[in-house]
Copies of this chain bind each other. A is one copy, B any other.
């Protein structure tokens, strides 16, 4: 019985074999010119490169990934893309990974551990060589998926005191405490805190503020505001209204991030509230605009570029199979005392 006619399922695209045929060499030589040119003689290389250019060959990532067991991708999950903090962190990560041959698979979790889990599951099919996560509050299933993936993981933004996982970030509680200290030092006593989004980092900043306020004997629940809504300039306006309604004698507001503080600043201008004379305003994150508001905004800058760089560098160490010098890197923060306090 004659063998069944092999049915071609070829994609019609230019393959390594096509390039090889064109250059009159074997496929593996083409592969080598791309992966480790040094192993191929200059003469062959030239012929092959010409063939690649003529045919417009683009290596097939799937085939390469399957054959080499390396995908050349790194999954990066951030809670938001509308926030300069994460965008700049992504940029810094890319600056480290791209030159070393890795591509980023970006996911936006929208501050939801459930969405994070779903995103991770989806991206895991790409067999990433490494994973970069924001925060430490993953779901149980996410932890299981991470463990099962076999890929090294680095957490960004927060630091894990236990050292159980690799992390690069800033101490959020310490930062919150520092701002509270700054306001007290400037003589403010009736200091409010506006917490929105209520993600773990927001809570930690608030905890730092509460602790210092309690220690100073100044903590009053009426000045401890919160809203689960996502942060925005408009929400800052709204929260200021709420603050003025429920604790009108407050002399300072510490907003859990800069967007909120910008809204507060705008609303103060609209109402003719003098900042910082009548009300001091502080933010968190040091967004680019915060250096230019009127008055210029006092805020806390976390080293987002540094975090991205260090996290990516740490991950490349782990992906190379090396044991990093430190598993936990606290990059600190900087209090930018400007005109609004």
Among A58, A148, A233, A262: residue with most chain B CB under 10 A: A58
Residue A214 at the chain B interface, CB threshold 8 Å: no
| B61 engages A292 (CB within 8 Å) | no
Q: Which of B13, B69, B88, B270 contacts A9 (CB 8 A)?
A: B69
Hey, what's the 0/1 contact readout for A239-271 against B, CB within 8 Å counting as 1? 000000000000000000001001100110110
CB-CB under 8 A for A127 and B62, given A103-B122, A289-B262, A292-B263: yes
Any chain B CB within 8 A of the CB of A293?
yes
Decide: A81 and B87 in contact? CB cutoff 8 A: yes
For the complex, give the distance between the alpha carbons of A11 and B61 in Å.
17
Could you say how many copies of this chain the assembly holds? Answer: 2
Contact of A60 among B12, B66, B88, B148 (CB under 8 A): B66
Task: Note all chain B residues with C-beta closer than 8 A to A94.
Answer: 108
Cβ 8 A contact of A62, one of B9, B65, B88, B145: B65
Asked if residues B71 and A62 are in contact (CB atoms below 8 Å), the reply is yes
Chain B CB within 8 A of A25 CB: no
Q: Is A178 an interface residue (CB 8 A)?
A: no
A62 to B63, CA, bound (A): 7
Contact between chains at A232 and B81 (CB < 8 Å)? no
Determine if A270 and B289 form an interchain contact, defined as CB atoms under 8 angstroms apart.
Answer: no
Residues of chain B with a CB closer than 8 A to A87's CB: 81-82
> Are B90 and A233 interface neighbours, CB within 8 A?
no
Q: What's the Cα separation between A1 and B233 when bound, in Å?
A: 77
Chain B residue at minimal CB-CB distance from A98: B122
- Cβ-defined partner of A266 (8 Å) among B56, B66, B292: B292
Q: In the complex, how many angstroms separate the beta carbon of A145 from the nearest chain B beta carbon? A: 7
Nearest residue (CB) in B for A67 is: B9
Contacts of A262 in B (CB 8 A): 289, 292
Q: Which residues of chain A have a CB within 8 Å of any CB of chain B?
A: 9, 11-14, 56, 58-66, 69, 71, 81-82, 84, 87-88, 90-91, 94, 103, 105-106, 108, 121-127, 144-145, 148-150, 232-234, 236-237, 259, 262-263, 266-267, 269-270, 288-289, 291-294
21 contacts between A and B (CB under 8 A): A9-B69, A11-B69, A11-B127, A12-B150, A56-B145, A58-B124, A58-B145, A58-B149, A60-B127, A62-B63, A62-B65, A62-B66, A66-B66, A81-B81, A82-B87, A94-B108, A103-B123, A234-B288, A236-B292, A259-B289, A266-B293
